[in-house]
A and B are shown apart, each in its own frame.
Chain A
Amino acid sequence: MALYSEKVMDHFKNPRNVGVIEDADGVGEVGNAKCGDIMKIYIKVKDGIVTDAKFETFGCGSAIASSSMATEMIKGHPLTEALSLTNKAVVEALDGLPAHKIHCSVLAEEAIKSAILDYYTRNNLPYDESVFKKIGCAHEHDGE
């Protein structure tokens, strides 16, 4: 069996929504260059709907594929739905990820949440803090 599903390879080789939204309403960046992945997601919001989403990713094939799939899954959907997108849903939509790549889907979920949090903060909107659990690199590194 190949390392990645056909879906992952498709989203990796032909990523959807790559790029920057210059006048984004919310921007979220998660990950750490030291860990080898950084995801940055830009969203446009109108009337509570995510009208556009773009991403930039530094990372492996599954990180790029997860960003691509996650942006596809929130584009055109209400913010509330985008906020409830789980990494599990991203993994399922990609027809699975290898066990040691699951963290890529977690980053995608966190990047979206982070972009939405940015949108709420910029607009002084009330939000439920418990939805935004701590985002960041949780693992230890050798030699540090």
Chain B
Amino acid sequence: MNVYADNAATAKMRPAALRTYAETAEKYFGNPSSLHSDGQRAAEELSRCRAKTAELLGCSPREIIFTSGGSEADNQAIVAAAIAGEKKGKKHIVSTAFEHHAVLHVLDRLKERGFEITLLPVGERGIVRAEQVRNAVRDDTCLVTVMFANNEIGTIQPVAEIGAVCREKKIPFHTDAVQAVGHVPVDVNALNADMLSLSAHKFGGPRGVGALVSKLPVRPLIEGGAQERGRRAGTENLPAIVAMTTALELSVAEMTEADAKIRAMRDKLIAGLKAVPHCALNGDEKSRLSGNVSFCFEGIEGESLLLLLDEAGIRASSGSACTSGSLDPSHVLLAIGRPHEVAHGSLRLTLSADNTQEEIDYMLKEIPRVVQYLRDMSPVWRDLQSGKRNYVL
């Protein structure tokens, strides 16, 4: 049996989105910047997508900047806010310790340029409180950026509350909503967000397309033509934008039904995996994305777990160091207080409405088997069992 359980990495494209992608590439081949009728037909299609996307996100069409994806949107939002802040002598940014690297690495660059960065701790539940933001902002804070939902452990942040604090303090607020859009209701106004990033391939659209929603003027990262009202140069990737719009429409329309189905499967998976001795769910159990299951298994290493699960047909991911090519395990797991040796044994399963009960049962049979197999050859597990080393979980 093959089980795709890595939807937070990339969700399979929705068939309808794939169809509109191909149709658009064929039918609307003109450049939306061209004055002739083929160009103008493409421009109209682009503007239809902008209006539809705005309607689905509760913002205005002119606030939408189509980008190459979530990373570009995050980069642009942060860089734009930093440059605007710098002009006013404000060089302090507030964020959290477990943001996506598309945020954290930009903040690292800004730090090199004299910005002061406050990364708020997220506690063992993996949730930052609005009160922490209130206590961290200063007169020279030019941006608060907090993700909507964490990509590894799925915990949902109190974004609207944080946005309210920022509004009160008149500080621009950006949220990386890449894992949330298409899965939970996202209304930019209700969130009190000035900027929001999204990515199509997380909700059944194609890779390589996303958007930055911005209520603030933002300067382009990519200079050139006047596309996207001068905020993002380059001929618009119309087939991808149309396919993203189709995927978003369907995701929003099917959200309630899909959510109930996914949540039931997730809860069963979490309950079943908890029966494995010496393991623990990562992140808060309630305030989490309905498709996210993230565990640490003591005594084993995540990459070997992933490879053996792949052999068994189960496609998953891990925050272990070996899967990232770095020497340290996931900064997210370290941020919620998992010690290194435990964080190495992490497993993330992210479900979609395409998964089935049979697949959940299959995973509940295979994962404990593979975990036990690896534990049986692990000297760490032997030491834990003999009492030479103390269990953490």
Q: How far is the CB of A100 from chain B (nearest CB, A)?
A: 5
A34 to B378 alpha-carbon distance, docked (Å): 14
Tell which of B320, B321, B341, B377 touches A57, judged by Cβ atoms closer than 8 Å: B377
Rounded to whole Å, the gap between the CB of A84 and the closest CB of chain B is 25
Alpha-carbon distance between A125 and B378 when the two chains are bound, in angstroms: 30
Query: What is the 8 Å Cβ interface bit string for chain A, positions 48-70, against chain B (1 contact, 0 not)?
Result: 00000001111111111000000
Distance in Å: Cβ of B253 to nearest Cβ of chain A: 39
State whether A36 touches B379 (Cβ < 8 A).
no
- For A36, what are the chain B residues with a Cβ–Cβ distance below 8 Å? 301, 320-322, 327, 329, 340-341, 344
Which residue on B lies nearest to A67, using beta carbons?
B377
Number of interface residues of A (CB under 8 A): 32
Q: Are A61 and B303 in contact (CB under 8 A)?
A: yes
Cα A33 to Cα B339 in complex, Å, equals 10
* Residue numbers in B under 8 Å from A64 (CB-CB): 304, 377
Contact of A58 with B329 in the complex, beta carbons under 8 Å: no
**Smallest Cβ-Cβ distance to A140: which chain B residue:** B327
Check: B210 CB closer than 8 A to any chain A CB.
Answer: no
A35 to chain B, nearest CB (A): 7
Closest to A139 in B: B327
What distance in Å separates the Cβ of A130 from its nearest Cβ neighbour in chain B? 28
**Beta-carbon contact of B307 and A58 below 8 Å:** no
Whether the Cβ atoms of B328 and A60 lie closer than 8 Å is no
Q: Given that A33-B341, A100-B325 are known contacts, is A60 also in contact with B311, CB under 8 Å in the complex?
A: no
B320 contacts A141, CB within 8 Å? no
B-side interface residues, number (CB < 8 Å):
28
Q: Is the CB of B344 within 8 A of A33?
A: yes
| Chain B binding surface SS class | helix
Q: Which residues of A contact B379 (CB under 8 A)?
A: 29, 38-40, 56-58
Which residues of A in the span 1-29 have a Cβ within 8 Å of any Cβ on B?
9, 12-13, 15, 18-20, 29
Contact with A along B284-310 (1 / 0, CB 8 A): 000000000000000111111001100
**B303 contacts A57, C-beta separation under 8 Å:** no
B105 near A: Cβ within 8 Å?
A: no
* Interface check B382, CB cutoff 8 A: yes
Q: List the B side residues contacting A141 at CB < 8 Å.
A: 327-328, 340
Partner of A143, one of B328, B378, B381: B328
Q: Which of B304, B329, B334, B340 contacts A59 (CB 8 A)?
A: B304
Interface flag for A72 (CB, 8 Å):
no
A118 interface residue per 8 A CB criterion: no
Residues of A within 8 A of B311 (CB): 13
The docked-state distance in angstroms from the alpha carbon of A34 to that of B301 is: 11
Pairs across A and B, CB under 8 Å, 6 listed: A13-B308, A18-B377, A33-B340, A33-B380, A61-B303, A62-B322
The 3 closest A-B CB pairs, nearest first, are: A33-B341, A60-B322, A60-B303
Instruction: List chain A positions with a Cβ less than 8 A from chain B.
Output: 9, 12-13, 15, 18-20, 29, 33-40, 55-64, 100-101, 139, 141-143
